[in-house]
Every structure is written in C-alpha cells, then in structure tokens.
Structure 1
Amino acid sequence: MARKNKETKYLAMDFGTSKTIAYVSGLGVIFNGPSVLAYDNSKKKIIAVGEEALNMMDKTPPHISILEPLQNGAITDRGLAEAYLKRVFESVEIKDVWKDANVVISSASNISVLEKQAFEKMFINLGVKTIRIVPSALMAALGSGMKILEPKGHLLLELGAGLISCSIISNNNVLVNKVYKKAGNFFNEEIEKYIRAKYSLEIGRNTAEQIKKEFGGFAAKSNRKLKISGRSLLGGGPKNELIDSNEIKNIVVGLFRPVLNLLMEVLEQTPPELTGDILDEGITITGGSSAFQGLKEYLSNNFQITVNKFSNIKTSVIDGLIKYEEIYENDLLD
C-alpha cells in the first residue's frame, strides 16, 4: 500500500553485486559505494565497507578478509549482508531511518521465491516494517526513460557485474527474461587467468578491472599498450609487463558470444504483437559493463537493429527507483 503520511520517508535501494546505492526522500542519494566489506576475523567485526573496503582488496594481512554479500545478484550470506547494510547506514549517520520508512528494493528479475524471502527477512531483521521488492529490469527501464506502465514493448539488456539479464517489458511487467550468470566480475576473472597463463604474472582483481576498463571493448584494433604490475609466478618477486589492447579485446569478444545467444533467445520468445515496438525502439543497454567501447555498434551489426545507450548506465536502476516514488505514492501499481 502506498504511503499516505507525507512525513513517512521513502527509502529506495539498488543493492547490487558490485555496488550499493541508497536514496531517501528529502535527502537524496545517501550512499553510493561498492558492495564490499572488510572483516577482521580476529575481532569478529566489520572494519570497513564500500570504497574503503575495496581499496584494501589484495592488500590485507591474513586475519582481514574482503567479502561480498551478494554473488550473481543473490545473497550468499544473509547475516553478512545484514551486517554490511547496518554498517552502511551507520556510516551516513541515519541508521534508524528505515524503521519508519516505506522501503523499496530492486532485485534480479529472475529471483526465486526463496531468494525473495531472504531479502524480505533480512530487511525485517533490520527493523523495516513496509517493504516492496521490485525487478531491477523494470527499474532500469524506468530510469532509462521507458514508459513502463504503457502496453508497449521494450527490450532491455542489463550488463552488470554479477548478471547479464535480457528482458522484454510491457505494461509494468517483465514478460520475458533470460539471465547469463557470467558478467563483469567473470570477465575480470578471465583476464586474471589469461595474464597468469601468458605472462606468469599474478595480478589482483582491481588490476584486472583496470585492464578491462582500459582495453575491453569492440572498437577497431588500436595496438595500445598498458604497463601492469603483479607478482611473478616464476621468481615470486614483483614484476612489470606490457600488454597489448588487442589481447584483451579478443578475450572480451569471445566472452560476449553467449550474450548474443541470450538476446536471440529473448527475441524468439517475444510476443508477436510487440515485435513492431522492438523494431521501432531498438535495444536499450544499461549497467556498468555496457560502457565497453564499440558495444553499440557490435550489437547493432549482429542484430540489424538500433541500440540505445544513455548517459546514466551506472545509475539507471536507482534513477528508476527514484521515479518509482511517485508511482508508489499514487497507488498506480497493485
């Protein structure tokens, strides 16, 4: 039920595999940081969350673990996720705000009943009284400017860190949804494996992410070079290597082929009445991994269809959740 008391806060959260973004009505975005925490095993407590914890990755002593509460869009450890969220809200000094708030959380569109119940239970344990869980595909579509309440077909490709999700959306419903659970984080892992195998060099995840951002893409060959540092697997000491941009491009293109199959499966299951809408509007891509250079052209060439990418690819879900507040308040949805 929509809130009638205007003093009641609306709290929206995009709790994603790689990033958490939280919004509170009247305050705006109050947290935007990595879904990562640093845990001191000797003291049994969290010592850092978000950017501070991410910066500690691969640099900590043995008794400090860098942990992620979500994997592939699903909670891996509910207790850990609860502790992470408590620490997040303590860090912005509004830890009690959600006890009297209407809370809306986005989740993966393919979430199971049990996974949804785990999300709900977690927030109830944190003191939330009113919670609604909405598909991230709907929120990303809304945040990308789509009119999700209308009986019109939209094709959305979300390229996240834990999941790649492709959806047909119409009349406030996800009619078709297919998911590939090898996304941005998996790309990083494959880059690490490649560097280890070819150069006998051990690199950390942050370095792999940097390589992906610098060289991952579909643009024409550029023959650019990047110096990377890591630990030699042969001598054990520090070592530098120069890698070529085309090496990484080839990895990304190879990893992306299953995404083409995913899109084709969704298109094949699209209701015939909506195909005209899809042809007129095209594919909208969003999510952090849609930043790959040349991706629009790559998809357009493969499917002979317009591809749209807007400026808010990293915030489309929270942007949609913010727009959703008006829908929520005015009882436009059941």
Structure 2
Amino acid sequence: MSTAGGPAAREGWRTRARRALLGSDLAVDLGTASTLVHRSGRGVVLDEPSLVAVDAATGRLVAAGREAEEMHGRTPARVLTLRPLADGVVTDADLTEQMLRQFVGRAGASPLLRPRMVVCVPTTVTAVERGALEDAALRAGARRVFVLEEVMAAAIGAGLPVHDARASLVADVGGGTTDVAVISLGGVVNARSLRVGGEDMHDAVAAGVRAEHELLLGERSSQHITHTVGAAYPLAQEQRMRVRGRDVRTGLPRTVELSSGQVRRMLEPVVLQLVDLVTAVLDVCPPELAGDVLEDGLTLTGGAAQLQGLPERLRGELGVPVRLADQPRLAVVRGAGACADDVAALEKVLVATPAR
C-alpha cells in the first residue's frame, strides 16, 4: 500500500518542515522615527516607534516601542526616553541592540531558531555605520544579516521594474534621511542621500511657531500640525487648526490658530532641500536613461512623502510626472520583505555579512 500523496507530497512536507525548523526570515526597516518588521509568510507583523525608555542610573531597558512612546514626556527624572538612531544610522549600539531584540521577539522569531535578517541602510551610509547596524542585528538574534539599500527596497516595494533596462527614479523620504536614486538592471545607477526628513519638518514647525507666536510646542504637537495642515504646495482650500502650547514669556498654556499657508512657509526650507536633492540626481542622470525618467517620472515613498502637496510641488519644479506610491510608508519594509521571502531570486541586490 503506497503512502498517501506519493513522493511529491512527501517532498512538499519535508520542505515545509525544513522551513519551520530554520524559522521565519525577517526584514527590518530600522528607521529614525519607527521600526517595521516583515516576517516571511506573514507580511508586516510589527510597526512601532524607534524609541526606548531606560533607567538613567543602571542603563537598563525599561520599555521599547509603543510602550516607551506612551511614557515620553511623562517619566520621572530617573527614566529617560531616547532614540537610539539618528539620521537613519545607529548612534547607540547597545540600546539599538536591546530595542531590536525586543522587536524581533514581538515579531514571533524564536530565540533558539535564529532567523536570517534583511536590514535596510541609507544610500550614503559609511562602512562603520553599516557595521554598527549589522552587529546590532546579529546580537539581537540574527544568524545571518543581509544589507539592502533603502532606496532599492523602496523601489521594489513600490512595484517598480528594478531589474529592467528601463530606468526608474525613486525618492524615499523617511524620518531622518531622504534617498533619491536612478535604478536600472537591478542596480543603483546614481544616487544622493540627505540627512533630512520628517523629523526636520516637525522641528521646523516647532521653531516657526516659537518664532511667530512665542509658543513652545511638544514633539507630538509639532508632528500633529505637520500631518494635519502641513503642505509643500498651496492647497485648493486653506486649512486651519487650533494648537495649544506654553507661552515663552509667562510659562502658561495658550492656544493659537495656524493656517496651512503659515505652516507651509515654516516647512519651505526643508522642502527646498528635497527639491534640490532630486534635481542633483537628475542633473547627472545618463542621457540613455533620461528619456525613461522624463516619461515615467518620479515615485515617492516613505512616511514623510505624504506631506500634502509634495507631489504637486516636485512636479512643478522638475517638469516630470510624480506619483505617490501605494502605502508609501510601507514601501521599504515590503521591498525588504520580498528579498527575505526569496533571497535567491533577489540576491544580487543584497550584501551579505559572513555567517557567524
């Protein structure tokens, strides 16, 4: 009597068992503002702020992610809330490792069956900065780390034909960095990176409100203003919102009304840097690929690319079509996740660290 299912069924069972034994591979978009984790076969399983709360006396991790965010600005003096990354790179290796270890555990990775991990880095990251991120991933539980440029991950996640001879132009506007690149035949033809992003937009709004209204804003308030009435281009209908802060002179709470036009002027210096960055990439685009870019235009990804009017502003400044990717904030982790799901097929866009 033959075994049910035959040889093909048995081989399929062996493959599934082998994958279960090795554990699920992970892809990590470790950003300045937030960290997203993709788990093979399950998609994006974690989306939390890149924030930790630590005991000031012992350095012990008290909370990470959303738990730390809830504590932000409300902790006693002995507990500090910190961001272990700045401008898209590791600034505190120990805290980054502890935070990442927490996130890997929440993503469902087994501490015994160590996963392979795809991590994303800004285009112009230095060898030292990349090494710090790789070490943090290995110490957080990865058995092997693959490095992927954020702009390539963003292009894959946005569904661009990165392996075609036809050029794709993509700009990933994150919390701490903006990466712009022309991609063709599975590689980056030319790219520029600027350590400016959504966090700089929030800082610009906070500085503008202080200068114009003598009002101090908290981090959450400046973020809310940017997301609600912030714009890079005049809106068809003016938007307004009331904002509460602390008066610089009296120290008492006070409320002011802001318009989208006011906030747009506050954001203008940051927006100009983004325009100049994309222009710099276009200026050195090879003539053979310039026609593709003129026809297909620019694809925007990243959370800060959702600033109102940014596609319209770039379209007017650059003279090329501009589109916002579907769910732009998830583009990088989705692209990295595609690589984690099929390392062999996308191996040439990855850089592997030696197995340990």
TM-score by length of 1: 0.92
CA contact (8 A) 1:72 1:181 kept: yes
Equivalent of 1:191 in 205, 227, 237: 205
Write out per-residue CA displacement over residues 177-235 of structure 1, whole angstroms, 9 at most, x where no aligned residue: 11221221011111111112222211111100001011111233644331111222211
Q: After TM superposition, give the deviation of residue 51 of structure 1 in Å.
A: 2.0
Alignment of 1:76-225 (within 5 A): 76-92=91-107, 94=109, 96=111, 99-217=113-231, 218-220=233-235, 222-225=237-240
Paired residues of 1:224 and 1:245 also in contact (CA < 8 A)? yes
How big is the shift at 1:127? 3.5
Matched residue of 1:278: which SS?
A: helix
How much identity, in percent, do the aligned residues show?
Answer: 24
Compute the RMSD of aligned alpha carbons: 2.0
**Per-residue deviation, 1:326:** 4.7
What is the alpha-carbon distance in structure 1 between the residues aligned to residue 38 and residue 73 of structure 2? 30
Provide the rounded CA distance (Å) in 2 between the counterparts of 1:92 and 1:254: 38
Spell out the pairing of 1:19-98 with structure 2 (5 A cutoff): 19-92=34-107, 94=109, 96=111
Aligned length: 330
The amino acid of 1:31's aligned partner reads L
**Would you say the 8 A contact 1:222–1:245 is kept in 2?**
no
Amino acid at match of 1:155: L
Find the residue that maps to 2:159 and give its secondary structure. coil
Partner of 2:247: 232
> Do 1:230 and 1:239's aligned partners in 2 also have CA atoms closer than 8 Å?
yes
Alpha-carbon separation, structure 2, partners of 1:318 and 1:288: 12
Q: String of CA shifts for 1:284-322, please: whole Å, max 9, x gaps.
A: 111111112222111111111111112210100111122
In 2, Cα distance between equivalents of 1:159 and 1:86: 26
Aligned to 2:312: 297
TM-score (norm 2): 0.87
Structure 2: where are the runs of 5+ without partners? 1-14, 351-356
Q: CA deviation at 1:164?
A: 1.4
Shift of 1:255: 2.3
Looking at structure 2, the residues matched to 94 and 328 of structure 1 have their Cα atoms a distance apart, in angstroms, of: 18
> Cα distance, 1:92 vs. partner?
5.0
**1:39–1:46 CA contact under 8 A, matched in 2:** yes
The one-letter amino acid paired with 1:310 is: A
CA gap 1:58/1:247 in 2 versus in 1, 3 angstroms? same
* 1:26 Cα offset (Å): 3.4
Could you tell me how far apart the structure 1 residues matched to 2:238 and 2:299 are? 30
Distance in 2 separating the partners of 1:25 and 1:263: 33
Query: For 2:273 and 2:289, how far apart are their aligned partners in 1?
Result: 24
